[in-house]
Amino acid sequence: SGRGPDDEPDSPTRRLRHAFLHHLFYTQGKFPALATKTDYYLALAHTVRDRLLQRWISTANEYTKNGSRTVAYLSAEFLMGPHLGNNLINLGLFDDARKSMSELGLNLDDLLYEEEEPGLGNGGLGRLAACFIDSLATLEIPAVGYGIRYEFGIFHQTLVDGWQVEKTDKWLRYGNPWELARPEWSVTVKLGGHTERMQDNSGQLHVRWVPNRTVLGVPYDTPILGYRNNTANTLRLWKAEAPEAFDFAVFNRGDYQGAVNQKVVSENLSKVLYPNDEHVEGKELRLAQQYFFVSCSLQDMLRIMKTQHVPLHEFHEKFAVQLNDTHPAIGVAELMRLLTDEHQMHWNQAWDITRKTFGYTNHTLLPEALERWPLELFKRVLPRHLEIIYEINARFLDEVRQRYFGDEARVTRMSLIEETGERYVRMAHLACVGSHAINGVAELHSELLKQDVLKDFHEMWPAKFGNKTNGVTPRRWIALANPRLTRLISGAIGEGWIKRLEELRQLEPFALDPNFRAGWREIKRANKRDLSDVIRKRCGVAVDPSSMFDVQVKRIHEYKRQHLSALHIIGLYHRLKTNPNLEMTPRTFIFGGKAAPGYWMAKLIIRLITSIGEVVNRDPAVRDKLRVVFLPNFSVTNGQRIYPAADLSEQISTAGKEASGTGNMKFAMNGALTIGTMDGANIEIREQVGAENFFLFGLTAHEVATVRGNGYRPQDYLDGNAELREVISLIRHGYFSRGDGELFRPLVDSLVNHDPYCLFADYQSYADAHERVGTAYRDSEDWTRMSILNSARSGLFSSDRTIAEYCRDIWNVQPVQVPILS
Ligand code: 26R
């Protein structure tokens, strides 16, 4: 072969190739004949890790030297997704890596696929945290993400006979090349026991917390690269360990089992992610998990302050701590404990610092998702914190009484302790009282917080409230997930959009260019072909890439209304069966998402969808027009293949229930059109892309409230809608369950008698919107134009914009540039 530049001794591809072979030999201990795909993946991962370590160290050095003000993002979940591809993109090494692998006869995509994704989150909230730390690094903001290193992340979903079956997520099985353990920075955390008080010589009262056990928190650090800069921030996740492998006191008594048992109990704290979203279970272990990682993180911040010689009273100047929902809200009481009990600071000063330190983001309006802990349970785990919360509450309620003279009802409503019936600690109230800033995650959501869930707090402190509409990172969700589109866009407007997503606006004129449209369409088609291959492999169903890909992927929940789409599909099926010559735009309905293992109704919704698929996909009368698939195990990895292949994005929650949604943004960026309600960020997406490029349907949040307030009767809607009656009757008579009329009965009964999420009220409006979708899709030139405009106008939904707003309005932090490597 000719001597091109890549054959030069120090060309990037050549260096990558050598480093890769080095790691295959010295890290994996293999030579090519024995190497597995995992070995190859790990060898490449280590090769890439070497290339980011310099940045990581320089960044830490720069922050330490300057004593930079730092954001601490506290989150029980970080749904990171695979690191390798993302790091290659951010380092600018993606193409070189592909080339060097192919020179070795390896395919980069195959290697990327070998990475087990760290699924340390349930859904929206955890994925948002991942997008945020990506944007913080890209914007060069000193930041640490603090969380839990769960040994088992979100379960792996399989389908057995159309039902969800959970498998444990053994993501650490082959090791994790992206993390470094930092045992030298371990901290101890106390749990349980009781408190004692005593006076010192000067008459000063001291409180001593005597725990009944302690655990060790060991930090594991993962570098988080900025896009094409020198910043590498840190995700610091805590693993729980027993303070000693053996308790020798117990061991010497001969109780080996007891000694080992202690170790097991301690390590349980970071064993597994709770797979529930939007429904609290008052489990002691969950509270202990929350306290564990929050205490570790705050102690870590105090350690950092000490090494940088920052005085204690400047805590809030050194750190801006954000609470990702109430899961870390115990931090308010913990910081008070650390400052007062452990560092002898006076209450008032500690309280002033605490409030200046914390900001609180709320992510849900559903009452069943608001965390409250039974008082007895709370006291068992955190006796000292309960006392501190009582003290915070006493002082807070004095303020309420003074401000609202004689209004004891308000005092009861606002108290940190719920005292009607069983007594609870209200974590959202603790978060509100202990923070200087409170925000929702989309305009509507933030408004509803002020008017409804946190009304009293808003009345008392209106200035604390604000909105920060969510965003997603265009690096992972466009550049990495959709390389074809990335090339087309960059060819037209340059690469600036990857860092400044607003520049996508420059695509608008291209929507009128037939050549550009043809290119755009061809990319969507290619992405759909790729997804069709995945569907064939995973579901055994052949789908037609020229049909419209209509996608709903998200956690399965009644409020998200996957079953509204299911009812509508049955409606379409019914139309086709009764009128075989009916013209209908061919559609492939693609569903994906996990149900909380204990959420029966959600699991039944999955079974309904798979059942519809079984009937529809093999019915020759309809199978050219309708296909229905449920892609198992929706995850970040699978999302990266799904969003780029979607024509239509289903965002159909009952208005007022979805705080924001973030999948809606990923779809729009990748050129899908949305069919959606006036809910969460859908409203802002519609405003941006233009009402004429968005398929709106359904009641507004206000109308939902009115309809429900007037005694909603789903039966009335059934009586008034012939198609809906046919749909319900088909399900009831077992048409989708081989004649079993019982299977879906709980679902049907719930709809007919209660319909808490107003599916029936929205059915006709939804069906009408789908008619408009079908017609629009048939004009493929115009559809493509709308698709391009959706992308071009999605710039607002970059998490870079969101993070810039947090930095300005809540955290008051500035970028710190990391100097070029030496
Ligand atoms: C069990 C309990 C405490 C719990 C409640 C809620 C556990 C986990 C959750 C997750 C919720 C809060 C969540 O993921 N909310 C989602 O947050 C996204 C990011 O802001 C929003 O886009 C999305 O609308 C919202 O549902």
Closest-CA residue, ligand 1 atom 10, reads 277
Which of 75, 278, 289 should be mutated for ligand 1, with most atoms under 8 A from CB? 278
* Higher-pLDDT residue of 624, 260: 624
User: Is the shortest distance between the CB of 363 and ligand 1 below 6 Å?
Assistant: yes
Q: Is 470's C-beta closer than 6 angstroms to any atom of ligand 1?
A: yes
How many degrees, rounded to 5, is the angle at CA 14 between CA 12 and CA 19? 95
Minimum-distance ligand 1 atom for the alpha carbon of 661: 22
* Ligand 1 contacts CB of residue 369 (under 6 A): yes
Q: Is 280's C-beta closer than 6 angstroms to any atom of ligand 1?
A: yes
Q: Tell me what pLDDT residue 6 has.
A: 58
- Distance CA(673)–CA(688), nearest Å, equals 13
Q: What is the pLDDT of residues 561-585, one digit of tens each?
A: 999 999 999 999 999 999 999 999 9
Is the CB–ligand 1 distance for residue 660 below 6 Å?
yes
Cα(128) to ligand 1 centroid in Å equals 10
Atom from ligand 1 closest to the CA of residue 128 = 19
Ligand 1: atom nearest CA of 470 is 20
Cβ-contact 112, 64 below 8 angstroms: no
In the structure encoding, which two tokens stand for residue 425, read together?
A: 């600690």
Q: Which atom of ligand 1 is nearest to the CA of 325?
A: 12
Which atom of ligand 1 is least distant from the CA of 659?
24
CB-ligand 1 contact for 661 (6 Å cutoff): yes
For ligand 1, is residue 679 a contact (CB within 6 Å)? Answer: no
Of 103, 11, 69, the closest CA to residue 316 belongs to 69
pLDDT in the model for residue 192: 98
Distance of CA 166 to the CA centre of its chain: 20
Report whether 800 contacts 56 (CB < 8 A): no
- At residue 247, the pLDDT reads 61
Q: Rounded to a whole number, what is the distance in angstroms from the first to the last CA of the chain?
A: 35
Are the CB atoms for 431 and 355 separated by under 8 Å? no
**What are the boundaries of each domain within the chain?**
1-66+83-116, 67-82+117-468, 474-804
Quick count: other Cβ atoms within 10 Å of Cβ 236?
22
In this structure, the residue with its CA closest to atom 1 of ligand 1 is 280
The answer to whether residue 182 scores a pLDDT higher than 60 is: yes
With a 6 A CB cut-off, is 130 part of the ligand 1 pocket? no
Per-residue pLDDT band for 1 (boundaries 50, 70, 90) equals: very low
Ligand 1 atom with the smallest distance to the CA of 286 is 3
Distance 551 CA to ligand 1 centre (A): 21
In this predicted structure, what is the pLDDT of residue 137? Answer: 99
Is the domain 474-804 a CATH 3.40.50.2000 member? yes
Query: Which atom of ligand 1 lies closest to the CA of 327?
Result: 3
Whether the pLDDT of residue 144 is over 60: the answer is: yes
Confidence of residue 251 (pLDDT cuts 50, 70, 90): low
Question: Which ligand 1 atom sits closest to the C-alpha of 680?
Answer: 24
Contact, 210 vs 193, CB < 8 A?
Answer: yes
Pocket lining: 663 vs ligand 1, CB cutoff 6 Å: no
From ligand 1's centre to the CA of 713, what distance in Å? 29
Query: At 442, phi and psi to the nearest 5?
Result: -160, 160
Torsion, Cα 371 377 379 382, to 10 degrees, reads: -70
Q: Which ligand 1 atom is the nearest neighbour of the CA of 445?
A: 24
Number of H helices, E strands in the chain: 33, 25
Residue 441 CA, distance from chain mean position: 13
The catalytic site residues sit at: 363, 554-555, 560, 662, 666
Q: For residues 653 and 679, is the Cβ–Cβ distance under 8 A?
A: yes
Query: What's the CA-to-centroid distance between 126 and ligand 1, angstroms?
Result: 8
User: Which protein residue has the closest C-alpha to ligand 1 atom 13?
Assistant: 125
526 lines ligand 1 (CB under 6 A): no
Does 371 contact ligand 1 (Cβ within 6 A)? yes
**pLDDT averaged over every residue in the chain:** 96
* C-alpha 803 – ligand 1 centre gap (Å): 19
Q: Whose CA is nearest to atom 9 of ligand 1?
A: 277
Q: Among candidates 218, 225, 226, 223, which has minimal Cα distance to 235?
A: 223
**Cβ(718) – ligand 1 distance below 6 Å:** no
Ligand 1 mean position to 718 CA, how many Å? Answer: 32
Least confident segment among 69-73, 274-278, 322-326, 776-780: 274-278
CA-nearest residue for atom 4, ligand 1, is 277
Percent of the chain exceeding pLDDT 70 equals: 98
CA of 125 to the centre of ligand 1 (A): 5
- Per-residue pLDDT averaged across 24-45, rounded? 96
- What's 67-82+117-468's CATH class? alpha beta
Is residue 332 within 8 A of residue 351, CB to CB? The reply is no
Higher pLDDT among residues 822 and 224, named by residue = 224
How far does the centroid of ligand 1 lie from the alpha carbon of residue 32, in Å?
A: 45
Task: Give the atom of ligand 1 at the shortest distance from the alpha carbon of 441.
Answer: 20
**Test site for ligand 1: of 364, 371, 664, most ligand atoms within 8 A of the Cβ:** 364
Strands 626-630 and 587-592, sheet pairing: parallel
Are 686 and 694 in contact by the 8 Å Cβ rule? The answer is yes
Instruction: Assess whether pLDDT exceeds 90 at residue 344.
Output: yes
Q: Residue 364: CB within 6 Å of ligand 1?
A: yes
Using the mean position of ligand 1's atoms as its centre, give its distance from the Cα of residue 507 in Å: 33
418 contacts 424 by C-beta, under 8 angstroms: yes
Q: Does residue 418 line the site of ligand 1, with CB under 6 A?
A: no
Q: Which of 301, 381, 308, 304 is nearest to 335 (CA)?
A: 301
- CB 688 near ligand 1, within 6 Å: no
Half-sphere exposure of 169 (CA within 13 A, CB side): 25
Model-level ipTM above the cut of 0.85 = yes
Class of residue 503 by CB neighbours under 10 A (exposed 0-12, middle 13-18, buried 19+)? middle
pLDDT (tens digit per residue) in 460-472 = 999 999 999 999 9
Distance, in Å, from the CA atom of 81 to the CA atom of 116, rounded to the nearest integer, reads 8
Q: Is the pLDDT of residue 2 over 70?
A: no
Tokens of 293: 């990682």
Ligand 1 centroid, distance to 518 Cα (angstroms):
39
Backbone angles phi, psi at 311, to 5 degrees: -65, 150
Q: Cα of 554 to ligand 1 centre, how many Å? A: 12
For ligand 1, whether the C-beta of 658 sits within 6 Å is yes
Q: At what angle do helices 514-539 and 780-792 cross, to 10 degrees?
A: 90
The residue whose C-alpha atom lies closest to atom 3 belonging to ligand 1 is 280
- Evaluate: CB of 159 within 6 angstroms of ligand 1: no
Residue with tokens 């991962």: 45
Q: What is the pLDDT of residues 308-330, one digit of tens each?
A: 999 999 999 999 999 999 999 99
Kindly indicate the confidence band of residue 245, based on its pLDDT and cuts at 50, 70 and 90.
low
The CB of 121 under 6 Å from ligand 1? The reply is no
Determine which residue's CA is closest to atom 2 belonging to ligand 1. 280
Cα of 364 vs centre of ligand 1, distance in Å, is: 6
Overall average pLDDT of the 230-255 stretch: 83
Spatial separation of the C-alpha atoms in residues 674 and 682, rounded to whole Å: 8
Band of residue 549 on the pLDDT scale cut at 50, 70, 90: very high
pLDDT at 8 over 80: no
Q: What is the mean pLDDT of residues 161-166?
A: 98
Residue 5 banded pLDDT, cuts 50, 70, 90? low
* Alpha helices (runs of H) in 627-710, residue ranges in sequence order: 636-642, 663-669, 682-689, 701-709
CB of 277 within 6 A of ligand 1: the answer is: yes
